[in-house]
Amino acid sequence: MLISLHIPKSAGTSFKFLLESYYKNSFLEDYDDLPLNIPFEQVLEEAERFSENLNSFKRLKYFIKGIKCIHGHFLIRKYIRFLGYNNVAFITWVREPLERMQSHYDYWYRTYNPKTTKAFLHKKVVEEKWSFETFCFSEEMKNIYSKFFHDFSLDDFDFIGVTEFFNEDATYFMKKLQPNKSIDIPFNNVSPDKKTKKMYESFFLN
């Protein structure tokens, strides 16, 4: 089984397309937790509760149901009881932190719809017109990686891709899964302006 952690705005949507194409009916999405839209203590508590309830029988049920890949936004702590299984691999993607923040900030403003956006923090950021500085230094957005990786060592990941090298890293990973097949690398959920943003330069670099 592959447990794939999708850090927001770190190529997870494009990678999800590859995983879905490969695993098909054995692919399971897990995007229910909304880790950044709920206080971290609550998200952590829920992840720990899920993990504690994930006894050997419940873990076995994943294999019995034929689940071969779980992918989504969740604290990796949620599935930590699978750690150590010979047939389970943990993977994720990371991105240069400031670029990730800029992409996240732009994405939330670009996709906000007052009628359909339900996520609390997304609504709060846009409706209160947070600046990029406020967004970056908010408690909710601080230390994103340490929150998602809570209680999990980087050494325990079997693969960590780098978004800035998505084409090379995704090709490498998918070739491991299907060495005899040509790989088409998708780019989904990408900002319409791929030029480096300049908004943060005067604030962070001057």
d(CA 75, CA 98) in angstroms, rounded, equals: 21
> For the domain 2-96+143-191, what is the CATH code?
3.40.50
d(CA 170, CA 173) in angstroms, rounded, equals: 5
Q: Is the pLDDT of residue 193 over 90?
A: no
- Grouping H, G, I as helix, E, B as strand and the rest as coil, residue 102 is helix
d(CA 45, CA 48) in angstroms, rounded, equals: 5
Query: Which residue from 71, 69, 76, 145 is spatially nearest to 104, judged by alpha carbons?
Result: 145
Please write the tens of the pLDDT for every residue from 30-87: 999 989 999 999 999 999 999 999 999 999 999 999 999 999 999 999 999 999 998 9
| Residue boundaries of the structural domains of the chain | 2-96+143-191
Q: Which helix (H) or strand (E) holds 3?
A: strand 2-5
Note the pLDDT of residue 192. Answer: 52
**Residue 69, strand partner residues:** 2, 27
- pTM of this structure: 0.86
Q: Is the pLDDT of residue 172 over 50?
A: yes
Q: Is the pLDDT of residue 148 over 80?
A: yes
- Beta-carbon contacts of 104 under 8 Å, excluding residues fewer than 6 positions away, are 8, 9, 135, 141
Give the pairing of strands 69-72 and 159-162: unpaired
d(CA 194, CA 36) in angstroms, rounded, equals: 24
